[in-house]
Amino acid sequence: MAEPVIRPRHDDDLPACVRTLAAVHRADGYPAAWPAEPERWLTPRELLGVWVAVDGSAVVGHVALTRTGPALAASVGHPEEQLGAVARLFVDVPARRGGLAATLLARAARAAAEDGRRPVLEVESGAAGAIALYERAGWRLVGTAPGDWLTTAGQPAVVHTYVGPV
């Protein structure tokens, strides 16, 4: 595989993003519950920016930056308008182990900083690979709380909140 290109997501990328997300869901159980409308799930109202990694015409990765809600802002201790949440980060299974997830994470964090926002994110406690990625990238755990969904194992989710490096 050639080095994927990171670029803003276009509307016509959405079907390929959904296919890649479906493959990630089958492999990893992310998201824990398959959304009824996956294209809408990939395009939340709070969206500030969204990028894809493409290899030729194939979408192999995705990341979004969104506004935060009051609960996340309170857990971080900053006003909502000073934060940008990294969300919807996933990389297709065959494209992993080459640093692509770290590159997508850095792209969203850079966009937050360029907008005068501090990057934050939430991750389910069972996502060991994602947690390792965030910690290697210098993100700091600032809180843990119950989630409002069940994991793929049917257990109540436990959510870790991280703040990105300055």
**Residue 156 confidence (pLDDT):** 87
Whether 69 and 44 have beta carbons less than 8 Å apart is answered as no
Parse the chain into domains and list their residue ranges.
Answer: 5-119
- Tell me the per-residue pLDDT of 49-90, one tens digit each, with 9 for 90 and over: 999 999 988 999 999 999 999 999 999 999 999 999 999 999
The fourth-level CATH superfamily of domain 5-119 is Gcn5-related N-acetyltransferase (GNAT) (3.40.630.30)
- Tell me the per-residue pLDDT of 91-101, one tens digit each, with 9 for 90 and over: 999 999 889 99
Whether cis (ω within 30° of 0) applies to the bond prior to 31 is yes
**Residue 157 confidence (pLDDT):** 87
**Residue 5 confidence (pLDDT):** 95
- The mean predicted confidence, pLDDT, of the chain is 94
Q: Tell whether the model's pLDDT for residue 1 goes beyond 90.
A: no
Q: Tell whether the model's pLDDT for residue 166 goes beyond 80.
A: no
pLDDT band at 2 (very low <50, low <70, confident <90, very high): low
Q: How far apart are CA 127 and CA 135, in angstroms?
A: 12
Q: What would the DSSP string read from start to end of 133-156?
A: HHHHTT-EEEEEEEEEEE-TTSSE
- Please give the structure tokens belonging to residue 89: 């980060």
Q: Where are the alpha helices (DSSP H) in the chain?
A: 14-28, 38-41, 70-76, 100-114, 128-136
